Amino acid sequence: MTLPLPPLREVIARHGLSASKALGQNFLFDERLLDRIAAVPGPLEGRHVLEVGPGPGGLTRALLRAGAHVTAIEMDRRCMPALAEVEEAFPGRLRVIQGDALKIDPATLFDGPYAVVANLPYNVGTALFTGWLSGEAWPPQWTSLTLMFQEEVARRIVSAPDTSAYGRLAVLAQWRSRAKLAMKVHRSAFTPPPKVMSAIVHVEPAEVPAGVSMRMLERVTEAAFGQRRKMLRQSLKGLPGALEALATLGIDAQRRAETLTVAEFVALARVLS
């Protein structure tokens, strides 16, 4: 049995939650949109969810309506009273932690698997995203990542070879995960509206290719995309064994980084690992 909650706009006004630019605050109020976002990870009934940056709690409410047990990390102290009201309305299903998500290890918060859902500021979101994807242990403890990004960043994450968006982020997101663009979100959906469009990316762990170290894959993509306009024989020159590895794999050294498939990067890292 849940108690009714006041509309978010009223909550914001009552608690004086003017959006802070420094904290990258752009709030979502449309319940139907929030329910659609909460549906992206699939059925949440009884599942554990880590939400980063709940703000006044719009997405948090949607996740709770979907039946999840939510642990939310929010940096802004001013949001605590509003989140306490949400906690009261969904007894025993919301745990709020006040702090910086970049400094909290989620492994200390969960015993078992959890899904991540977040609408975060761009810089924090990208830092957390690459951190979650770079863990040594695979499959990771998280079962999926459902994250709001600027549309341009979302496109880079899901991009295919031979496109200008394709780069290190795509390889990182795709070499042992499935990444898809789940939905676009118009800038006018936010208060205040950001300058650019947004999109939600959904990532699920996939099988890890054998014999490849994450560290080596990072080195290869860093070198290759560090000089993306150059041919591989130039950009990979400084990486010991890389030119021989290209020859072994039959990859033409005259190609440029953005033409290599994720599987080709993986094969290259495997030979070098």
**Residue 133 Cβ vs ligand SAM, minimum distance, rounded to whole Å:** 18
Give dist(CA 217, CA 265) in Å, integer: 7
Check residue 94 and report its DSSP letter. E
Assess 68 for contact with ligand SAM (CB under 6 A).
no
Q: Which of 96, 101, 153, 171 binds ligand SAM (CB under 6 A)?
A: 101
Segment lying near ligand SAM (by CB under 6 A), choices 115-123, 166-174, 227-235, 243-251: 115-123
Assess 201 for contact with ligand SAM (CB under 6 A).
no
Give dist(CA 80, CA 268) in Å, integer: 48
**Measured between alpha carbons, how far is residue 180 from residues 55, 160, 173, 177 in Å?**
25, 11, 10, 10
Q: Which of 68, 70, 73, 245 binds ligand SAM (CB under 6 A)?
A: 73
Assess 58 for contact with ligand SAM (CB under 6 A).
yes
28 annotated ligand binder? yes
Residue (of 222, 225, 170) closest to 201 by Cα position? 170
100 annotated ligand binder? yes
Check residue 19 and report its DSSP letter. P
Pick 62 or 245: Cβ nearer ligand SAM: 62
Pick 26 or 71: Cβ nearer ligand SAM: 26
Assess 35 for contact with ligand SAM (CB under 6 A).
no
Buried-state track 191-206, b at ≥16 Cβ within 10 A, e below 16: eeeeeebbbbbbbbbe
53 annotated ligand binder? yes
Give dist(CA 176, CA 183) in Å, integer: 22
Assess 150 for contact with ligand SAM (CB under 6 A).
no
The footprint of ligand SAM (CB under 6 A) covers 23-28, 52-55, 58-59, 73-76, 79, 100-102, 119-121, 124
